[in-house]
Structure 1
Amino acid sequence: MKILILAVVLVELLTVSASESNAIQLINKGNNGGTVYQTVNINNHVNVAAFNTYFGTHSTNAIIDYNAGLIVYQIPYKRICVVSRMNRSTFPSISQLENLIHEENPTLHALHRNYGISRKVVKNLYQLGSPAQAMCGGFTTYWATEFQQPVAVESKACADVHLLILNVNLCGGISLF
């Protein structure tokens, strides 16, 4: 009986997820000739977009949580996450983001963002909501501030993160490389 109930719940979840989410997958060549796999999953039911770039040891991920108003970047090879408040006046809505991704040449309308990473560690991931908790659990997580132009904030290192249409410049007082 428990298995039957679990099966019914899973079918319901999958039906809702399939009807209210959108997944895009691309395979490109990287600058050094290697293969880069990129995925974007947009779930309108929970108002979250997840970007993933798989490129060997330098893979990166990002979650845009529209409900919490947060953008979370994960750099797994350094075991860090960077969290910033979303500037809702300049960041596209989830439907606009979906339209940008489906454009024939999305690189023409790429979103460029620049962040200064502080040394301030996020001590309580629960305050960020479940998507950020899931992405950053077990990683050192830092706060960042969005700037119009790249800025050096006690700069030890900068990293350029390319997630399909999302091009990000992360600079700060932490070592990213």
Structure 2
Amino acid sequence: MTEPKRCRWAQGDALMAAYHDSEWGVPVRDSRLLWEMLMLEGFQAGLSWSIILKRREGFRAAFAGWDPHKVAAFGAADIERLMADPGIIRARAKIAAAIGNARAYLALTERGEDFGNWAWDLAGGRPVKGDGETVPARTPASEAISKALKAKGFKFVGPVIVYAWMQAVGMVNDHASDCFRRDQV
């Protein structure tokens, strides 16, 4: 049996192929999951996504299931605990950003805004299909969303990180033109 044609980045690695086939580019509307994915993209900065995938369960355990209420309550002792946790990326600035981002997320919801609706509204409300040939590192939309996130107090949300997040959560469909998932998501 031949393997289906996938985006080049998902070939040759079973974990990456499984993520590609079941998650990447599938529109996510759940606010908490959107926030979790944005946090993971921030931790991925400067690293490969496969490193993050291999540690995703470690991140979930370390960050209380990515419950923003619990993460927002983390203090200095939690930062030290996380810095000693081999199951995650131990970068103090990224850890501090995730905690601060939980607080920013909660502040947004306390103002009556739904993070998912807010983010999708900024992205145009529906998925945008890329041309299937070129994949930019950033776009005017990712720049605008990055700026809006920063204005709300979020950190580690530059336009390149935001564009990768937009791809991951299906705001953008950047599957290659010959990828079997392109027309499925």
Instruction: Give TM class, smaller chain.
Output: under 0.3
- Bigger share in helix: 2
Q: Bigger relative contact order, structure 1 or 2, given CA contacts below 8 A and separation 6+?
A: 2
- Bigger share in strand: 1
Larger Rg: 1
